[in-house]
Structure 1
Amino acid sequence: MAEKTRILIIGGTRHLGKFIVEASVEAGNPTFVLIRDSTRFPSAKSQLLTTFKSRGITLLHGDIYDHDSLVMAIKQVDVVISTVSTDLIDDQVKIIAAIKEAGNVKRFIPSDFGTDVDNIEGAIEPAASFFEAKAKIRRAIEAEGIPYTYISCYGFASYFLDTLAQENATSPPRDKVVILSDGNAKAIFNDERDIATYTVRAVDDPKTLNRTLHIRPPANIMSFNEVVSLWERKICKTLEKVHIPEDQVIRNIQESSFPKNFVLALEHAVFVKGIMTSLQKNPSVGVEATERYPDVKYTTLDEYLNQFIQ
């Protein structure tokens, strides 16, 4: 029996990273997580690291800002998956440099989880610069000749659906919902557990080598209006709907400071410009996850929203 691929997750204690660590372990892969000095972790993360150890996960001490420790960690694995935070996207060049020096990595999956950043027509600042930063990391990986897979998982379900993208909300609305523009632009939402499962499945797949894996489950492609209608049916209630015209959305972005302007610009790109569904299929550069791995039972939006019904 062939040895399982050794996977290193950088950012494994973060939101998506935890799910990818879990998916890697469940798939039977020897799993490694890069951690900094444990004394800097709050108690919640210390508990998580204890759980990691109990699952047989190897904790490698290192830091993306410590080149030697990063190279040493990378030399112990076959695949590197980055789930670093948005403010560290640019710094992934340090991971690229370490992978290049190590010379043994069979696949690098950068922190590129989201919409396909090579197709972001219509996005405005400050979201546009964020997408462009991710695209620059793609080009840097390609320039160094590092084998890669990009994961375009589009919208995190927890980010958009837990509150139906309502400002200052902690759960989906029960009385009134704010809708950007006409609400007809299609978007894609995926449960993070499914994103992690598909990511780990792609690690050894020759069909995803040097390509983008698109996670676009048919049942999870909906307009905001369709999501609202689905939610209304579940709670047996019609919500008051407040539409904000695009020109007002843009003014709100321009008049807001970070991070609010970034959130608004991202929502404008998703719910007004429909950047998640503007890409046409191109088999030469992309692979459809649900078509490639039909045995994976993904969570539908219908199923996902059930957790909020009381």
Structure 2
Amino acid sequence: MAKSKVLVVGGTGYIGRRIVKASLAQGHETYVLQRPEIGLDIEKVQMLLSFKKQGARLVEASFSDHRSLVDAVRQVDVVICTMSGVHFRSHNVLVQLKLVEAIKDAGNVKRFLPSEFGMDPARMGHALEPGRVTFDEKMTVRKAIEESKIPFTYVSANCFAGYFAGNLAQMGTLLPPKDKVLIYGDGNVKVVYMDEDDVATYTIKTIDDLRTLNKTVYLRPPENVLSQRELIEKWEKLTGRQLDKSSLSEQDFLSSMKGLDYASQVGVGHFYHIFYEGCLTNFETGQDAEEASQLYPEVNYTRMDEYLKIYA
């Protein structure tokens, strides 16, 4: 079977650049949306040019020009959107509704992967304010996709290791603590940590796979399902140093939201659901879902003891 042509929207972003790389590596004809709004952002321009050098094709289109978006998606079989959904960067989830309209009008797209890549929003209807806005907006996009009868795959990638593993799940830093580490509750809730390049590899593998059509794909490789304590133990074994541990109760953690700015409140809410509630692992995947490491056992995914070595 011929490999699908892929358009990546948000290709200069944190996960988007990895999706572009993985698509090229797996032999797909790869297109990257180039928006005129990029203006004088030299780093993004140079990244786009580097993609071009690697064999990707740049396609000019704008979210404010419906016709240009339709023309862009007509050139490909699969559209993957990786626009940011986190509030401390840029939050663009609902902009995807314009992309859904373009895909619907173009009528040729065999698969659309919207910007998900975190917790499964379908399981977060109970989420705390204000953090639940992320899940509500993703569900709004899903509703538009499904009402438009657009074939889809939703990728639930859980916790990016760069944000959650390298810092041993400490908020407000991306580096491991030197002396003291804060443990959420008893620290035994299971969490899923993913190397971002593996997220991209698994994502591209789904796009021509009939087993993932109109399903959610969970990235939950067994050796990366770890409690916070297990993650800390890996770091301590790697460095040969014990950290001073203190525990934060659920009540005290939730109290810490008071007085924080909006983006920080969103982040604290998400941490609560992951590390106290166990929202990434407290369910079976179910019938309308697949687990990536079972589908693609040939992927030698990065284990967290290996991932942490760069920080040591």
Using structure 1 for the length normalisation, give the TM-score. 0.95
Change (3 A) 1:106 1:39: closer
Change (3 A) 1:236 1:50: same
Aligned equivalents of 1:218, 1:161: Cα separation in 2: 16
User: Which residue number corresponds to residue 14 of structure 1?
Assistant: 13
Aligned equivalents of 2:155, 2:61: Cα separation in 1: 25
Please state whether the residue corresponding to 2:265 is helix, strand or coil.
Answer: helix
Q: Is 2:307 the counterpart of 1:308?
A: no
User: Which residue number corresponds to residue 112 of structure 1?
Assistant: 116
User: Which has the larger displacement, 257-266 or 145-154?
Assistant: 257-266
Gaps (5+ residues) in structure 1? none
Q: Is 2:144 the counterpart of 1:140?
A: yes
Q: 1:123–1:268: 8 Å Cα contact kept in structure 2?
A: no
Change (3 A) 1:56 1:41: farther
User: Which residue number corresponds to residue 83 of structure 1?
Assistant: 82
Please state whether the residue corresponding to 1:29 is helix, strand or coil.
Answer: coil
Change (3 A) 1:200 1:148: same
User: Which has the larger displacement, 273-282 or 145-154?
Assistant: 273-282
User: Which residue number corresponds to residue 44 of structure 1?
Assistant: 43
One-letter code of the match for 2:299?
Answer: V
User: Which residue number corresponds to residue 239 of structure 1?
Assistant: 243
Aligned equivalents of 2:78, 2:305: Cα separation in 1: 34
Aligned equivalents of 2:133, 2:42: Cα separation in 1: 34
Please state whether the residue corresponding to 2:23 is helix, strand or coil.
Answer: helix
Aligned equivalents of 1:122, 1:232: Cα separation in 2: 35
Aligned counterparts, 1:117-136, within 5 A: 117-120=121-124, 123-136=127-140
Aligned equivalents of 1:217, 1:145: Cα separation in 2: 30
Alignment match of 1:181 (pick from 177, 185, 194): 185
Q: CA RMSD in A?
A: 1.4
User: Which residue number corresponds to residue 57 of structure 1?
Assistant: 56
| 1:286-308 Cα shifts (integer Å, max 9, x gaps) | 01111111111100111111111
Q: Is 2:103 the counterpart of 1:99?
A: yes
User: Which has the larger displacement, 101-110 or 34-43?
Assistant: 34-43
Please state whether the residue corresponding to 2:257 is helix, strand or coil.
Answer: helix
Q: 1:116–1:152: 8 Å Cα contact kept in structure 2?
A: yes
User: Aligned residues, how many?
Assistant: 307
| 1:26-81 Cα shifts (integer Å, max 9, x gaps) | 11111000011276142212221221111111101112232111111001110000
Q: 1:38–1:46: 8 Å Cα contact kept in structure 2?
A: no
**What is the deviation of 1:140?**
1.6
Q: 2:163–2:174: 8 Å Cα contact kept in structure 1?
A: no
Between the aligned residues of both structures, percent identity stands at 40
**What is the deviation of 1:279?**
2.1
**What is the deviation of 1:193?**
0.5
Please state whether the residue corresponding to 2:285 is helix, strand or coil.
Answer: coil
Q: 1:75–1:104: 8 Å Cα contact kept in structure 2?
A: yes
Aligned equivalents of 2:125, 2:136: Cα separation in 1: 11
Please state whether the residue corresponding to 1:111 is helix, strand or coil.
Answer: coil
User: Which residue number corresponds to residue 157 of structure 1?
Assistant: 161
| 1:1-40 Cα shifts (integer Å, max 9, x gaps) | x432110000000010000000000111110000112761
Aligned equivalents of 1:106, 1:130: Cα separation in 2: 26
